[in-house]
Structure 1
């Protein structure tokens, strides 16, 4: 087999270039702190790193969704708590005005305070977030108002999804289609149903006002929407007439307070679920981040050692190339 001088030169140059590439790669890894800077560095690891980062990004989005849901639920909690406080005051007045100690003039005077309570409760029932969305409008969060004047029963109010408003401009069937949900964690089927059905991966951020403010309607005329706002209107009407409030008034106020207590408990449960999902997501993310670091990050000590070895190897290759260049028969003639 013939071995020419050109072969020696070619092999030496290839060796020098290889060591230079190794040094450049190690310098890049040390400067970025990453072992894998391009897919070509380690195709399998690069694919796993990409998948890990996508999963962690999804967990971050779930956390953002949870923060949004917490804000919405906190506002709902505040609105319901304010309404409950107003109803408790209304109940105290109803019990007082039921006593024979109070006459018609006293009851008419009390009607003024009930009127103020109606305004407060109506405002909270039509609560609007900073984003301009109605909390108690079910799926129709962009409605102008949740409880509007009932055209079939003047002086009373109807929910925007009520049958009393069918055919009227205010009627909105979307208000009866459940509520809005956000995803706060991974689930098994990746399907969103009309309600969360106890699925911890998604949480309801709004509630249907017809449900939250429903009453038994013991105090209301036939055909009037059975909601607590109308109960207060009926209470005010009776006081203005100078008569004692009916037993149905107190019963409806009690049932509304009870119903709102149930809703507040549900809101608290959803807030706890968001917190649990957040903690679980952060724990999972820590394990994913550790795996990513093992795949992607550079061991600085090992990198410096490898760089030193490559630099020494380059220096030796350059010295060998110098010797190869001097190989010639003329040197020995």
Structure 2
């Protein structure tokens, strides 16, 4: 005969009720929190998957934030470069006006004053900051004022030549702005390959016009050993001689008004009549910042000396206009590149938006509580607990004396 002690009966009943209470509490926690997994012990495999999914979502959120910041910086840069290019157009129009007409002293002064204002505006635009107060065109430098306009009209660049980068994906970086060294300072002089300029001491009416490389092979051969430095001299009888920096004759020819001089793959358009001893210099490999271009124009317009004839002024403005064209080419090329980067950011942002929605759906399926199932289970567990409690209450009150009665 098996004998069941009262103590054992109490322990069994109490253990059963505690187990049921724990189950009810766990289900209640799932319903109230909305999550099926609150502790790793609830579902070890599921908890591991939740950690992995949350890590991916956190990375996507950070990349999206980086994209938003880069998008804001590049949009600001694009707008700034639009304004910058508009000012360069104004300066170019004034250069054309100066080249094609005869300017009075008053005209020169008015034009110089306007160019001083344009230069100041260009410096201000070059010092544009993003929404966080960081200079757009300082590269990775922390300076807040990368461009400083000095009293002599020169501009000093205090940034560096490294672009700021934004990480928008695993191993995927994109420039979030462009450094001022490449954009505004190190601009090829003249037509981009070489600069042709009339000598300051010329006494004739020779005007130097557009120049270009017409034979790439011949030009490459001429510059294979480094930048070229030629002097084209006129004898006053319609003949010209081109010599290199060592005084060696490179080419000769005859000239009449409106001719172009061509040798070593380049062509230089000329007009007017040179006097004996007049010359034109040709140099390659030189750079000139955009601010210096305007300063050169301003200085030429402000020069009231008798030697600064309209011919001399026209030659100076013509040379600076070529440099303005190079500056505008640089700005336009950068604007095109910025547009491409903005497009890439938009595509990447759309991709993360779709991926985030997918991962959130998977995470919800792993972690979130199935409310209908959980509430139904909670009701069953609560009913079972209440029944267990009621049975225990009745059984623990029974005794032999109650039975005999």
Q: TM-score, normalised by structure 1?
A: 0.81
CA distance in 2, matches of 1:226, 1:215: 5
Structure (1/2) with the larger helix percentage: 1
Q: Is the 8 A contact 1:80 1:264 kept in 2?
A: yes
- The answer for unaligned runs of 5 or more in structure 1 is 162-174, 188-200
User: Which residue is equivalent to 1:215?
Assistant: 187
Runs of 4+ in 1 over 4 A off after TM superposition: 219-225, 326-333
User: Which residue is equivalent to 1:121?
Assistant: 122
Deviates more, 1:111-120 or 1:45-54: 45-54
Q: Is the 8 A contact 1:158 1:225 kept in 2?
A: no
User: Which residue is equivalent to 2:363?
Assistant: 292
Q: Is the 8 A contact 1:126 1:145 kept in 2?
A: yes
User: Which residue is equivalent to 1:273?
Assistant: 344
Q: Which has the higher contact order (CA 8 A, sep 6+)?
A: 1
- Superposition RMSD on alpha carbons, in Å? 2.8
Question: Aligned with 1:183: secondary structure?
Answer: strand
Q: Show CA shifts across 1:119-152 (max 9, x none).
A: 11121122234544221111113254334549xx
Deviates more, 1:214-223 or 1:235-244: 214-223
User: Which residue is equivalent to 2:101?
Assistant: 100
Question: Aligned with 2:37: secondary structure?
Answer: coil
User: Which residue is equivalent to 1:90?
Assistant: 91
CA distance in 2, matches of 1:142, 1:226: 23
Deviates more, 1:26-35 or 1:4-13: 4-13
Q: 1:160 to 1:304 in 2, by over 3 A?
A: closer
Q: TM-score, normalised by structure 2?
A: 0.68
Q: Is the 8 A contact 1:139 1:179 kept in 2?
A: yes
2:362 maps to 1:304: no
User: Which residue is equivalent to 1:39?
Assistant: 40
- The answer for unaligned runs of 5 or more in structure 2 is 201-282, 305-312
CA distance in 2, matches of 1:276, 1:247: 44
CA distance in 2, matches of 1:147, 1:317: 85
Q: Is the 8 A contact 1:22 1:310 kept in 2?
A: yes
User: Which residue is equivalent to 1:235?
Assistant: 297
**TM-superposed deviation, 1:104:** 4.4
2:9 maps to 1:13: no
Q: Show CA shifts across 1:194-232 (max 9, x none).
A: xxxxxxx22222322121124322379999961111001
Q: Is the 8 A contact 2:188 2:286 kept in 1?
A: no
User: Which residue is equivalent to 1:77?
Assistant: 78
2:164 to 180, 183, 194: 180
Q: Is the 8 A contact 2:128 2:135 kept in 1?
A: yes
Rg: which structure is higher? 2
User: Which residue is equivalent to 2:154?
Assistant: 156
Question: Aligned with 1:29: secondary structure?
Answer: helix
Question: Aligned with 1:124: secondary structure?
Answer: helix
CA distance in 2, matches of 1:254, 1:155: 21
CA distance in 1, matches of 2:119, 2:397: 104
Pairs aligned (count): 303
